[in-house]
Amino acid sequence: MLEVRGLRVSYGAAPALSDLDLDVGAGELVGVVGPNGAGKTTLINTLAGLIAPASGRIGLNGTDLARLPSHAFCAAGVAIVPESRRLFSAMTVRENLELGSYLPRAKAERARSLESVIALFPALASRLGTRAGSLSGGQQQMVAIGRALMARPSLLLLDEPSLGLAPAVVETMFAAVRRINAAGVAILLVEQNIGMAMELASRAYVLEEGRVVLQGQAAELMGRPEIRKAYLGLE
Amino acid sequence: MTFPSLGLLSQSVLSGLFLGGMYGLIGLGLGLSWGLLGQINLTHFGFVFLSAYLCYHLTMVWGVDPLLTLGLLVPAFFAVGVVMQWALARFRVSTFNSLLVTFGLTVMIEALIQKIWTADFRKLQTGYGEEKFSFLGLYAPLPELLTLTVSAAAAGGIWLLMRYTDLGKAMRAMAEDAPIAAAFGVNARALALLLSGSCVALAAIAGVFFALSFTLTPTQIFSWVGVVFAAVMMGGLGNPLGPLLAGLVIGVSEALAMAVFSPSWAPIVSFSLLIVLLLFRPAHR
């Protein structure tokens, strides 16, 4: 479904991603891990249209998104939960969710999507009229995920959904990710919390300095002690 | 200082409200483009005066009804706003530089007006100016009444649009985080063109009602900048109701200051209000 080939992104002269190939199959949950500065957020942002790649192909369901303007990505079926959430903080929770379903195809399903977001995150039910900026971190993360789901994506891009959250809230978040994936939405998950990411993902890519240094079945990568130690920083 | 009669005071409050309606109408487009596009568009004042002079010309030379000139001026000025936004975006003009660029444009518009219509005072002579209503001993000229009504309707209408339509929500989202709004399908470039066109069209509307109520002279452009800026800043950037509400407060305080003290007190009152409000209002956004 997602087919990234030879993706290059640079900030000025500095390359951030070089010759990156990556695939996500329909309904698959794929993890991307790696140290800080490896290019994980750059990858997610490029796939969401926030950054224009220097070259390469971003094939999604047969169309190449790489040359399209950023507002065309969502229509093709991508939705992002960006790093540090980036909610529209002056707008209400309801308005944030509605904005996720801004495009006609998603708007037609708005009422139903809103119901399923509330079913996924019941805590949001009583907060719909609240300014998004005044919510707790965990609830803001729920709104960010909800906003992306309102777009009815076939591919959900999740950038560090556990960042800055209390362990109990992280559990809730990962349970939600699992349920979203079980409903048939393909997910590309970037995480610092490698243990959690590898547990959720069926396949994973290890990024270092803007390149894929390792890829494979998550369980297999986790099962090899030398890989755990060298690439994942686990004992 | 002699304390004026109740009748004179009420008349002052009323004319203050009317003046406030004008402040609000001029400030509406200025505040929207400032708050939502990040442009401090001084040309807004030039456009208001250009529209006022064009309305004057169409009415006095071609015999068009001044209110009908809106049918021509609004779409024409909308197009100008679209072109201006295209150019500002094309050359990536920053907020501060937009202040300088649009100041330059305003000076050019002033020179153009001076060239075509000279520096003489011009007053639109129409039937509207003669019409006045009186109730409870107060006196309300039709042009001022129209200005206040249109100002309230425009501010209220745009407030409803911004609050309840997807287009309005998209504009607010774009103002806060344009890249993320784009990631959800908002075409920020097209919305900016639409918004800029609408703001300049609002300047055209303000200009027509300005011509109905005020005597025109080109150098006056800059005498409106200060007080309308005060209204926009007091009302909160990007909030469509703000400039009108702040404009009414300023207009009434000015009128009362003029009645109780002397006319020269008016600007002192409006800017003291602005400073006090900026000091004590909790930071917006």
User: Is residue B275, in this structure, part of any structural domain at all?
Assistant: no
Residue of B165, B184, B285 to mutate for A, most A C-beta atoms under 10 A: B184
User: Is residue B250, in this structure, part of any structural domain at all?
Assistant: no
Domain interval for residue B91: 20-221
**Residue corresponding to tokens 């349920």:** A179
Q: Where are the domains of chain A?
A: 1-76+158-163+191-235
What is the per-residue pLDDT across A3-29, written as a single tens digit (0 to 9) for each?
999 999 998 888 899 999 999 999 999
Judged by CB atoms closer than 8 Å, whether chains meet at B172 and A90 is answered as yes
As a whole number, mean pLDDT of residues A192-203 equals 89
List chain B residues with CB under 8 Å of A60. none
Residues of A with CB under 8 A from a CB of B: 48-50, 69-75, 79-80, 82, 86, 88-91, 95, 98-100, 102-103, 107, 147, 151
As a whole number, mean pLDDT of residues A190-205 equals 90
How many domains does the structure of chain B reveal? 1
Question: Which pLDDT does position B1 carry in this prediction?
Answer: 57
Amino acid at B115: K
Question: Which pLDDT does position A6 carry in this prediction?
Answer: 95
User: Is residue B283, in this structure, part of any structural domain at all?
Assistant: no
Residue B179 contacts A where some CB pair is shorter than 8 Å: yes
Chain A nearest CA to B150, separation (Å): 28
Distance CA B190, CA B86 (A): 10
As a whole number, mean pLDDT of residues A109-122 equals 97
How would you write A107-162 as a 3-class SS string?
A: HCCHHHHHHHHHHHCHHHHHHCCCEHHHCCHHHHHHHHHHHHHHCCCCEEEEECCC
User: Is residue B12, in this structure, part of any structural domain at all?
Assistant: no
List chain A residues with CB under 8 Å of B181. 88, 99
Amino acid at A181: N
Distance CA A48, CA A68 (A): 11
Select the residue of A70, A103, A147 nearest B179 (Cβ to Cβ): A70
Query: What is the Cα gyration radius of chain A?
Result: 17
User: Is residue B208, in this structure, part of any structural domain at all?
Assistant: yes
Nearest Cα neighbor of B248 from B6, B9, B27, B3 is B27
Question: Which pLDDT does position B2 carry in this prediction?
Answer: 63
Reported ipTM: 0.94
User: Is residue B237, in this structure, part of any structural domain at all?
Assistant: no
Residue B173 contacts A where some CB pair is shorter than 8 Å: yes
pLDDT tops 90 at residue A227: no
Compute mean pLDDT per 10 residues along chain B, 285 residues long, and list them: 77 92 96 91 96 95 92 97 93 87 94 93 82 78 93 97 95 94 95 96 97 92 90 89 94 89 82 82 57
Residue of B162, B167, B180 to mutate for A, most A C-beta atoms under 10 A: B180
CATH 3.30.930.10 assigned to A1-76+158-163+191-235: no
User: Is residue B170, in this structure, part of any structural domain at all?
Assistant: yes
Distance CA B166, CA B105 (A): 33
